Amino acid sequence: MKSVAKKLPKVDVVIVGVGWAGGIIAAELTKQGLNCVGLERGKERKTEDYFMVHDELRYALRYELMQDLSKETITFRGNEKLRALPMRQYGSFILGDNLGGSGVHWNGQTYRFLPYDFEIRSKTIERYGEKKIPKDMTIQDWGITYDELEPYFDKFEKMAGISGEENPLGPKRSSPYPTPPMKTTPALEKFRKAATNLKLHPYNRPSGNLSEAYTNPDGVSRAACQYCAYCERFGCEYGAKADPVVTVIPVAKKTGKFEIRTHSNVRRVLKSGNKATGVMYIDTTTGEEIEQPADIVVLTSYVFNNVRLLLQSGIGRPYNPNSGTGVIGKNYAYQVQKGSATGFFEKEEFNTFAGAGALGMVLDDYNGDNFDHTKLNFIHGGSIAISQTGLRPISNNKVPKGTPTWGKEFKANSVKYANRMLSVGGQGASMPFKHHYLDLDPTYKDEFGDPLVRITFDFEEQDRQLAKYLNERCIEIMKEMGADLVDPFEELGPYDITTYQSTHNTGGVIMGADPDASAVNNYMQMWDAENVFVVGATAFPHNSGYNPTGTVGALAYRAAEGILSYRDKGGILA
Amino acid sequence: MAENANQQEKNESLTRRRFLKNSGIAIGGLAVGGALGSLIPFKDKTDKDGVKTEQKAENYNLALMFFTQQQFRMVEAATERIFPADDNGPGAKDLGVAYFIDHQLSGDWGFNAREYMQPPFFKGEKVQGYQGRLRRREIFDIGLRELQNHSLKKFEKNFIDLDEEQQIEVLTDFAEDKVQLTTISPSGFFNMMRTATLEGAYSDPLYSGNRNMDGWKMRNYPGSQMAYTDVIDQEFKVIAPKSLKDHLGH
Ligand SMILES: Cc1cc2nc3c(=O)[nH]c(=O)nc-3n(C[C@H](O)[C@H](O)[C@H](O)COP(=O)(O)OP(=O)(O)OC[C@H]3O[C@@H](n4cnc5c(N)ncnc54)[C@H](O)[C@@H]3O)c2cc1C
Ligand code: SF4
């Protein structure tokens, strides 16, 4: 690092990373008159960028919109005895970059975590006793309840215009979804009918792809989704997908108080005593090192960089997996995605080439603690859903088990079943364990010479049991749907970073009521540095049986409120 | 966001205007995020003539950027075994898959340009993914040479001179790691070629494979359509495919 950095005038708030979390914070704070600077390592983005977006190769398989791994990646190992090695190519998850972050190329499946999630430890002990929790499973309550968080969920859903209908097993809502559910499809109706026959409770998946034109409380108007089938991993050319670039970011900009600096890669949070004084970043167009002083620092740079920046900057107590003490890097969790079923239909074809990122039908009968776990070897569960995101032809060549992977028979079957295959998927919750954590890699570096983040993580017996259970339930539903052929059960196996599962990485800077066991309070304010707020799925003490972003959004609104009252009162917020 | 609005107004697009109407977006109000003006893409006035000339012109893409002619013919034969012509439609060869792979190897993908290629290199667990120092274009060079060596050793013939069954045998040896190689993983190379074959068969014809959209037609895939609002809740129906070319300047 050069010794003399260019120092800029101080601002009220500096926001590191401008995706959903950063965008929401920026909108809420600038509306109240705070001057915010958003530092985003990537480039500017706009809807016009997506007129050539229906290109599976470029966007879905060459990762046009995602982080360039040649500059920065993570390292991974299954356990502490192994050497962590870099994720050289994408697989298990794909990382956001540029303005809007992953919020540009997400699907828009927008859930609220369950009341059980927020009080998971207390409620598990209350119903099953302490013995139900295996040794080393480090579940803890979140320091907030569903009821306390409800108004913030409501705010996020109204801002984004979430389309949906009441979940028959869902918790109390203060108002209905702002827009009606999306259209359904013959495949989805098949699922609904089968699930209803099985006495389960299907509902239309809450969706960030607008079912109709919508104007949100900020006055932002957006068009309806066209079911174009190029949604996940693609940007929306209609502005129909809820995305920070077409919702919160322009609202923040309009105040005149939000300055976005793209191509600005933050390397350190600067501090004096136990307060931050600003950040140091590199202007990646010139290589210049720049200091941005600020009264409040907000980290919204996704799970991995939130943790990395804190560890690099010496803020907060690093987690120690042997003693279980310390907090930064603690409770890394993921998602148990493999409990699903694939069915092949001989007599029917489906319009599965069409679809939308969040189009689907879901049920929660086997999620959270909605079912009795007394005789089961796991806690929590997962949502089960059929999705119609659009089956693009390169990535979707499922053939019945036993078909060779290439040659005559493969081709014939892959063509035959191209429009005759449906799958029902379980999205399992992921519990934290003492030895699953994030820290700094001792060997591998990013483009600036800073250490990469290291993931130590594997699936546990809890996950294998859960995947098996969800897989069996999915098979039951698939059979009831009338599939002629259903692929048999498959073991979960070890966590494998090479196959895509989900970009639902969680934990590392977790929230809670106890400063010894958590890094931030329920306003995402750091216990150890009161003017640093760390926002994102990084705050989740565990991951639920749902996609994370609805809950990330709610926590971001909560954090914004906390920052505003910190600005007035100072000190640790109660 | 609004700075291109004038130009966009001038260069109007019928297709997008129609979708705009269908989508029912309210005109007026605070239309941020480019939801309105930006639905009308840039259109080059000279496009019409341009497109006509292009249709008449020869396809100058059918040449090589990376492979030697011998390598090219091997890839053509190998990918045809992976994805053969049958009653459903053309195989890899007629879809232009070998051209697709050639062109891809000469760009970012061939150089692993957007992947982490920093040392040190250690052999890892399978679940840690590819840890080699070789880039895809180097793997193809080595892999094709070894494919040839293995053919000569097993059948005393060049790979391209083998009959279909023999080619399948040679490829199977690679797919199942039955060839001893020190430089690359035989199955790693084979799987890379298999994946690239599917990419070449089904990517937009823009990339030189999926010739004439025949890959898509074979499986009744409609390609790149602007919208499915009218069919999403309907039973399956065959829709004539479109490619990205249809979206430029229309
Ligand atoms: C393909 C895909 C599909 C998904 N689908 C869904 C879904 O259907 N439902 C759901 O709930 N979730 C989904 N997700 C997850 C969802 O996208 C994320 O939860 C959400 O976008 C996270 O928002 P964020 O603001 O926390 O982080 P991000 O969106 O990752 O934003 C972080 C930003 O910080 C920037 N940044 C990082 N480091 C630095 C640095 N050092 N300096 C400056 N800037 C930095 C990044 O460039 C990025 O713009 C999906 C994700 C992917 C990839
Ligand atoms: S499916 Fe809908 S929301 Fe998604 S990109 Fe297409 S039009 Fe936009």
Identify whether the C-beta of residue A162 lies closer than 8 Å to the C-beta of residue A206.
Answer: yes
Identify whether the C-beta of residue A20 lies closer than 8 Å to the C-beta of residue A105.
Answer: no
Which of A432, A435, A563, A417 is CA-nearest to residue A485?
A417
Identify whether the C-beta of residue B247 lies closer than 8 Å to the C-beta of residue A52.
Answer: yes
Residue B137: enclosing H or E segment and its boundaries?
helix B136-155
Which residue ranges have their beta carbon within 6 Å of ligand 1? A 16-22, 39-42, 94, 96-98, 101-103, 105-110, 232-233, 265-266, 300-302, 305, 357-358, 503, 536-537, 547-550, 552
**Quick check: B128 contacting A, CB < 8 Å?**
yes
Residue A322: alpha-carbon gap to chain centroid = 28
Which of A355, A376, A380, A356 is CA-nearest to residue A366?
A380
- Given strand A203-204, what is the order of strands in its sheet? A203-204, A360-363, A382-387, A421-428, A340-344, A485-486
Q: How confident is the prediction along chain A (574 residues), in pLDDT tens digits per residue?
A: 445 689 999 999 999 999 999 999 999 999 999 999 999 999 999 998 999 999 999 999 999 999 999 999 999 999 999 999 999 999 999 999 999 999 999 999 999 999 999 999 999 999 999 999 999 999 999 999 999 999 999 999 999 999 999 999 999 999 999 999 999 999 999 999 999 999 999 999 999 999 999 999 999 999 999 999 999 999 999 999 999 999 999 999 999 999 999 999 999 999 999 999 999 999 999 999 999 999 999 999 999 999 999 999 999 999 999 999 999 999 999 999 988 899 999 999 999 999 999 999 999 999 999 999 999 999 999 999 999 999 999 999 999 999 999 999 999 999 999 999 999 999 999 999 999 999 999 999 999 999 999 999 999 999 999 999 999 999 999 999 999 999 988 899 999 999 999 999 999 999 999 999 999 999 999 999 999 999 999 999 999 999 999 999 999 999 999 999 999 999 999 8
Over the stretch A164-195, which tens digit does the pLDDT of each residue have? 999 999 999 999 999 999 999 999 999 999 99
In SS3 terms, A150-186 reads as HHHHHHHHHHHCCECCCCCCCCCCCCCCCECCCCCCH
Percent of chain A with pLDDT over 90: 98
Over the stretch B54-80, which tens digit does the pLDDT of each residue have? 445 688 999 999 999 999 999 999 999
CA A199-A203-A207 angle, 5° bins: 160
As given in the structure block, the two tokens for residue A390 are 């659009």
| CB-count exposure of residue B60 (10 Å: 0-12, 13-18, 19+) | exposed
Is B25 within 8 Å of A213 when comparing Cβ atoms? yes
Residue A314: alpha-carbon gap to chain centroid = 26
Which ligand 1 atom sits closest to the C-alpha of A546? 11
Q: Is A209 in the pocket of ligand 2 (CB under 6 A)?
A: yes
**Sign, CA torsion A54/A58/A62/A68:** negative
C-alpha distance from B42 to closest chain A C-alpha (Å): 9
| CB-count exposure of residue B165 (10 Å: 0-12, 13-18, 19+) | exposed
As given in the structure block, the two tokens for residue B154 are 């097993």
Which of the following CATH numbers is that of domain A6-569: 3.40.109.10, 3.50.50.60, 3.40.1190.20, 1.10.20.10? Answer: 3.50.50.60
CB count, 10 Å around CB of B164? Answer: 12
Is A57 within 8 Å of B199 when comparing Cβ atoms? yes
Residue A75, beta-bridge partner list: A86, A454
Q: Is A504 a catalytic residue?
A: yes
Identify whether the C-beta of residue A296 lies closer than 8 Å to the C-beta of residue A506.
Answer: no
CA-CA distances (angstroms) from residue B120 to A280, A544, B133? 28, 37, 9
Residue B143: band (very low, low, confident or very high) from pLDDT cuts 50, 70, 90 = very high
